[in-house]
Amino acid sequence: MLYLTLIVCFLISIVMTPLIKKLAFLIGATDRPNQRKVHQSIMPRLGGLAIFVSFIAGIFLIRPENPYSFAILLGSLIIIITGFCDDLFELPAKYKLLGQLAAACCVVFLGDLQVVFINLPFGGQLQFGLLSIPFTILWIVGITNAINLIDGLDGLAAGVSSIALITISGIAFIQGNFYVVAVGLIVLASTIGFLFYNFHPAKIFMGDTGALFLGFIISVLSLLGFKNVTFISFIIPVIILGVPISDTLFAIIRRIINKQPLSAPDKSHLHHCMLRMGFSHRQTVLLIYAMAAFFGLVAVIFSQARIGGALFLIGIVVLIIEIIAEKIGLMGKDHRPLLNIMRTLTTEKNRS
């Protein structure tokens, strides 16, 4: 039944996307080019609505029995309404945040989904206590915005989200969490159908309707798959979402260094830096796909590793991220502490 449902979701997304494109032009939900954006012509938004309609159809077809289902569907509806309104009216940031908080609270309070504790690698537990609710809400809102931030090139957010969904579903299958597998694959099939129209050169953007929805679903599925487990397991979703999380973290660092507001827009995200390095639009997207796939592979290996190997793997991954970030200028052209140290050591070695 699941295989048939995935085919139906894929086909619904394929059929719905051109219809949503017409609707977007009809109601004025379009994205106009400006100095911060890469596209050069007016583009329809709302593409995420096709993903959502396909997702809802898939959920009603298989009707997965789980105490979290109602809360997830209600939260998804709130996030879709928030994204729809932003694509149509360009909401102020505070109203978008309010919608994201409302969606997160649905899952936390109605679904009773909270990260209560983490088993530490060398014994003992980290109990969140009163912080369990704000921590869980922060995770959902943070990942939702991280996916939204990388939605800057044709097919980028949809492709990276698809890779994350494949990884989450794969690890959930290994662990026997078939609810996460079913929901993750339904969203994946819906997103791939949309990606046919969104890959470069895109015919439609997913808009905040799609980026917020994908971020919300991915954040919730990662919690469902890996909550209240070991420290090692808790790191898995962080690794899976390595591309959007690292891009967001470096954006925060960059703005602190430059003494800018954290919400200030700029053109120094990962995809902007790679475009400036001379990569084409399509090459940049494919390279970031490869990075996301690398993180996904590391997460799968990480999930099966012993504590010592897992901690070593974390160190290697963090080192690679930092070197790449400094090489391409994610924190700014002049902020390269690790590369400067390596250069100094190399110079001293050559002198001796």
Point out the annotated binding site.
Answer: 148, 208
Pairing, β 125-127 against β 43-44: unpaired
Q: Binding site for Mg(2+): residue ranges? A: 148, 208
221 touches 184 (CB < 8 A): yes
Q: How far apart are CA 149 and CA 47, in angstroms?
A: 16
144 touches 150 (CB < 8 A): no
Q: What is the secondary structure of 151-206 as a DSSP string? A: TTSTTHHHHHHHHHHHHHHHHHHHHT-HHHHHHHHHHHHHHHHHHHHHSSSPSS--
Q: Which residues on neighbouring strands pair with residue 230, listed in sequence order?
A: 119
Q: Of 203, 220, 197, 207, which is closest to residue 83 (Cα–Cα)?
A: 207
Looking up tokens 């619904």 gives: 12
Residue spans of beta strands (DSSP E) within 10-130: 30-31, 43-44, 117-119, 125-127
113 touches 224 (CB < 8 A): yes
